[in-house]
């Protein structure tokens, strides 16, 4: 539904949201580390990174803290802010948490413990999509999802290891109960935090919002054409993105039915645990820009 506000003789038309969904992988709302933020100026999805250590911030996992901090910060962005300035501001909001607790030097040396999240955002004033990290979008039905190189390598390594375990006599159900494939790649998952915001990492460099500077070369800015009718933003909790929520959800459910471990039809660094609804939290929003 579209809304119109009147201010001192001019008309402000608010963003027209067609449909949206946010869902925790566990089914419990409080567990969700994804956030959707919608204001007069922007539509954004934040994806808090899955924790790989026991580090907590005010009792929250780093990904949950990232989602909450960034969601609040996005509502305070000036209307005319550019992509790079916005990323600097958001980074500073996380850095302030480290400074308040005397953790800056510790987290410089131990990046896997940082508050960490990805962001995909449509900015109405600039008619641009800004992307920091592993999320994806559609413009007029055309999909854009450049997957993180290190993530793909790890997903393939996990898939290979799980295939070996099946050949040695384990079952899918056993591997779902104890995902030895994820345990196999965990040393790489923890150490690959060194690739975050590190342009020197070459093809393995990846952008995240973690309180440390994001190189401008790793911030993706995508113009949205003037004739664009619809935009879809989504977190990486979906294997594939479609122009409607129903189609996107149907594809996800088909993948989870056929491949709950997420190592054949869709290769990921983790599968769907027993009792969970999916392999990851997910967020989807479709709107008229």
Do the domain assignments include residue 2? no
Please say if the pLDDT value at position 7 is more than 60.
Answer: no
Confidence of residue 13 (pLDDT cuts 50, 70, 90): low
Q: How far apart are CA 191 and CA 94, in angstroms?
A: 21
The structure tokens listed for 185 are 């790649």
Kindly report, residue by residue over 79-121, the tens digit of the pLDDT: 899 999 999 999 999 999 999 999 999 999 999 999 999 999 9
Do the domain assignments include residue 11? no
Please say if the pLDDT value at position 173 is more than 50.
Answer: yes
Do the domain assignments include residue 7? no
Please say if the pLDDT value at position 202 is more than 50.
Answer: yes
Average pLDDT estimate for 144-164: 93
The structure tokens listed for 74 are 């996005």
What value does the CA radius of gyration of the chain take, rounded to a whole number of Å?
19
SS (H, E, C) 229-258: CCEEEECCCCCCCCCCHHHHHHHHHHHHHH
CA distances in angstroms from 173 to 102, 115, 159, 262, 269, listed in the order given: 44, 33, 15, 13, 17
Do the domain assignments include residue 6? no
- Residue 23 belongs to domain with CATH number: 3.60.40.10
Please say if the pLDDT value at position 10 is more than 90.
Answer: no
- Predicted local distance difference test score (pLDDT) of residue 15: 74
Please say if the pLDDT value at position 5 is more than 50.
Answer: no
In the Cβ-directed half-sphere of 195, how many Cα atoms lie within 13 Å? 17
Which of 115, 128, 112, 118 lies closest to 189 in space, CA to CA? 112
Average pLDDT estimate for 188-199: 94
Contact by Cβ (8 Å): 128, 84: no
Average pLDDT estimate for 15-36: 95
- Predicted local distance difference test score (pLDDT) of residue 11: 42
Please say if the pLDDT value at position 155 is more than 80.
Answer: yes
How many structural domains comprise the chain? 1
- Predicted local distance difference test score (pLDDT) of residue 143: 85
Do the domain assignments include residue 186? yes
Q: How far apart are CA 90 and CA 263, in angstroms?
A: 34
- Predicted local distance difference test score (pLDDT) of residue 211: 98
Share of the chain above pLDDT 70, in %: 95
Do the domain assignments include residue 47? yes
**Structural domain that includes position 190:** 19-288
| Sequence-distant (≥ 6) Cβ neighbours of residue 117 within 8 angstroms | 33, 46, 47, 48, 49, 63, 66, 67, 70, 133, 208, 209, 210
Please say if the pLDDT value at position 199 is more than 60.
Answer: yes
Share of the chain above pLDDT 90, in %: 90
Supply the DSSP string of 190-205, one letter for each residue. HHGGGGBT-GGGGGG-
Confidence of residue 14 (pLDDT cuts 50, 70, 90): low
What is this structure's pTM? 0.92
Q: What residue has token string 């003789």?
A: 9
Do the domain assignments include residue 102? yes
Is 143 in a helix, a strand, or coil? strand
């Amino acid at each position: 539904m579209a809304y119109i506000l009147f201010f001192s003789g001019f008309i402000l038309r608010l963003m027209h949201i067609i449909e949206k969904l946010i869902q925790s992988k566990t089914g419990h709302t409080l567990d969700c580390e994804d956030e959707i933020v919608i204001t007069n100026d922007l539509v954004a999805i934040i994806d808090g990174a899955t924790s790989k250590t026991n580090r907590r911030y005010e009792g929250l996992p780093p990904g949950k803290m990232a989602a909450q901090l960034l969601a609040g910060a996005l509502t305070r962005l000036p209307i005319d802010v550019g992509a790079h300035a916005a990323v600097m501001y958001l980074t500073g909001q996380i850095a302030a948490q480290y400074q308040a607790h005397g953790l800056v030097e510790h987290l410089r040396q131990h990046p896997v413990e940082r508050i960490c999240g990805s962001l995909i955002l449509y900015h109405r004033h600039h008619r641009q999509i800004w992307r920091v990290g592993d999320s994806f979008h559609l413009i007029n039905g055309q999909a854009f999802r450049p997957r993180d190189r290190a993530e793909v390598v790890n997903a393939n390594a996990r898939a290979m290891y799980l295939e070996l375990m099946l050949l040695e006599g384990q079952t899918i159900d056993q591997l779902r109960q104890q995902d030895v494939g994820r345990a196999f790649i965990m040393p790489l998952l923890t150490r690959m935090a060194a690739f975050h915001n590190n342009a020197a990492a070459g093809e393995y460099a990846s952008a995240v919002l973690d309180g440390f500077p994001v190189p401008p070369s790793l911030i993706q800015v995508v113009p949205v054409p003037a004739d664009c009718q619809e935009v879809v933003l989504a977190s990486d909790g979906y294997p594939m993105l479609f122009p409607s929520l129903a189609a996107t959800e149907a594809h996800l459910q088909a993948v989870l039915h056929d491949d709950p471990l997420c190592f054949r039809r869709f290769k990921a660094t983790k599968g769907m645990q027993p009792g969970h609804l999916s392999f990851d939290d997910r967020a989807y929003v479709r709107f008229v820009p």
